[in-house]
Structure 1
Amino acid sequence: MILPNDIKVIFFETFNGDRSVLEFEQWLYANRQLEKRMHPDDYLELIGYGYKGDRAAYGLKELLRKHIRPGEFKLWKQLRQKHPNGYTPNSIKTPFDEQLQRIKDKLPIAKNADEGCDVFCADTHEYLLNVPATEEEVSAFEHKHAIQLPPCYRSFLLVVGNGGIGSRDSGAGPGYGLYPLGCDADKGDYISHDCVLKPDMTINEWESLTVFVHNEENISNEQYLREARTLFGGILPLGTQGCTYIHALVLNGPHKGRVVNLDYNYLCLPCFSSTINFLDYYEGWLDAVIDGTLRHPNAPEYGYS
């Protein structure tokens, strides 16, 4: 049974040692909602526990462990570390507010639909997102790299979330999840360059852009990097799909705001998402989790397939 957030926080604080056994016992007997929220056997186990003795704290921790999801506990600790005085949500308005609210509503639905984390790599992020970035953090990133993030993605960072508990602090999203803002952004310093990729790129066009890969032994490192910057310029990595495959965001040009799947080994043509912007791409992933498309055996990946 999923416990409400206010009860989870009490459990987290006690498990973390911030609340004493006595404080938890007093809260337990004073809380009239807990009996309704917990399975009867679990509630009786807590009520009947002996809260006295030298090993009371250890035993209570073991009891609470059954009701604490490691991912949620890790996220709670990250939040406390970043916001020791308490977190206040951003209060902003965006052109995407209706869709952003839909996405926030669908995240717990997707998590419940895939309770066993059967979707590819969902067990790494557990459908959890860290709290949103601040305007100061986003603006500093844009200033540092001399770019402007697409409004759809920028709004997601400020309203929905920024990273999580997964690999490289990735949060809920396709593949191994969504990177927090800035992860891999300095890789080759490509993101401030112009984007030359397009959805209808032909094999001949791709091969002409990747000649340097097959001619590596005959060109200097500087020339190789220049060619690589041209190829993946104006692209912000969003996350990894494993091996050399990533999903990324186009930062400029006619396809700004669209998501493209790329191969860092340059073996595959860019594969643009059919959606017109990042929010549609992300909501489409949630819908595919909820309706079961990505949960059945041999389901396609949400990226390169």
Structure 2
Amino acid sequence: MILSDWSDVPDRLARLSTHPSAGTVFGANGHQWRREPPLTTNELAELESQLAVELPAEYRSFLLQVGRGGAGPAYGLFSVQRVGGRWHWAGDGAELTDLETLGQPFPHTDAFNPAADLPDPPDEADFDSEGKFNEAEDAYWQQHDAVAFSPEHSIGLLYLCHLGCAYREALVISGPARGQLWADDTASDGGFRPLHEPDGTPTGFTRWYRGWLDQAEEQTQSRSSHNARK
């Protein structure tokens, strides 16, 4: 199957939506197996014109053939929406995407942690007598958050989904890792890291989405077999 052929996906999602065990798949309660209508070629052209950058081929073919958002990895794909003549992505964390800088290169190819070189936080000896954060503690975390969550680290990243607890995954739109999926683990001070397949190759949109879909089908089939043996 060629990478741009998504013709099987709508039927597979439809079958999953009616499967008795579909609700056990992680995140299914968020997207509920619904997919939003695909973009038209004119809508995609307008979107890319506003962004001043062409989206990676695998993702843009998905938008045209499957849908502009909905059922997908974790709690589902953020939806592409047009409001007041402007296109944007909507979802829990979609606002982390800076639409104005998607055309600027994301410079990284290896995992990095913006907070790695920060000093350790003050220890408990610096707490006041009531155990509350003192001024030193407050100042440290203000500095930490300014560094760890600076928007400059996500230039060229398009956030696609959230996994809960502020963990999110994004698609590199521009730069040497264009077309690859990255995890944003800054919520736990983990920084950013590229996703890889079991064979070590970088994960692109097609393998990311289809890998999730394969696992969802395997999980529901396995649970059905288990229930049948009871």
TM range (shorter): 0.5 to 0.7
| Aligned residue number for residue 54 of structure 2 | 148
TM-score (norm 2): 0.67
Which of 281, 284, 300 is the aligned partner of 2:211?
Answer: 284
Partner Cα separation in structure 1 for residue 76 and residue 221 of structure 2: 14
Aligned partner (choices 113, 117, 122) of residue 206 of structure 1? 113
Paired residues of 1:110 and 1:286 also in contact (CA < 8 A): no
Unpaired segments of 5 or more residues in structure 2?
81-87, 122-139, 198-202, 224-230
What amino acid is the match of 1:153? Answer: Y
Listed as ranges, the gaps of 5+ residues in structure 1 are 1-94, 164-170, 297-305
* Map 1:19-58 → 2, pairs under 5 A: none
Aligned to 1:110: 16
Higher share of residues assigned helix: 1
Q: Distance in 1 between matches of 2:97 and 2:206?
A: 26
Identity of aligned residues (%): 28
- The one of 220, 236, 241 equivalent to 2:158 is 236
Choose between structure 1 and 2: higher strand proportion: 2
Match of 2:190 among 251, 263, 268: 268
- TM-score norm. by structure 1 comes to 0.52
Asked if 2 retains the 8 angstrom alpha-carbon contact of 1:195 and 1:253, the reply is: yes
In structure 1, the residue matched to 2:170 is 248
Match among 87, 90, 102 for residue 191 of structure 1: 102
Q: How far, CA to CA, are the matches of 2:102 and 2:208 in structure 1?
A: 20
How far the C-alpha of 1:105 sits from its partner, in A, is 3.5
RMSD: 3.3
1:131 touches 1:160 (CA, 8 Å); kept in 2?
A: yes
In the alignment, is the contact (CA less than 8 A) between 1:193 and 1:229 conserved in 2?
Answer: no
Aligned partner of residue 44 in structure 2, secondary structure = helix
Encode CA deviations 1:155-206: one digit per residue, 9 max, x unaligned. 000111112xxxxxxx1011111011232565462533321333x42xxx42
> Where does 1:57-206 land on structure 2 (aligned, <5 Å)?
96-98=3-5, 100-113=6-19, 115-163=21-69, 171-181=70-80, 182-183=88-89, 187=96, 189=98, 190-198=101-109, 200-201=110-111, 205-206=112-113
| 1:145/1:192 contact within 8 Å kept | yes
| C-alpha separation in 2, matches of 1:242 and 1:280 | 22
Whole-angstrom CA distance in 2 between matches of 1:218 and 1:128: 41
The structure, 1 or 2, with the larger RCO (C-alpha pairs under 8 Å, 6+ apart) is 2
The one-letter code of the counterpart of 1:131 is P
Work out the number of aligned pairs and report it: 186
**Alpha-carbon distance, 1:153 to partner:** 0.2
Q: Is the contact made by 1:206 and 1:269 (CA closer than 8 Å) also made in structure 2?
A: yes
CA separation of 1:112 and 1:229: change in aligned 2, threshold 3 A: same
Q: Which runs of 4+ in 1 moved over 6 A?
A: 293-296
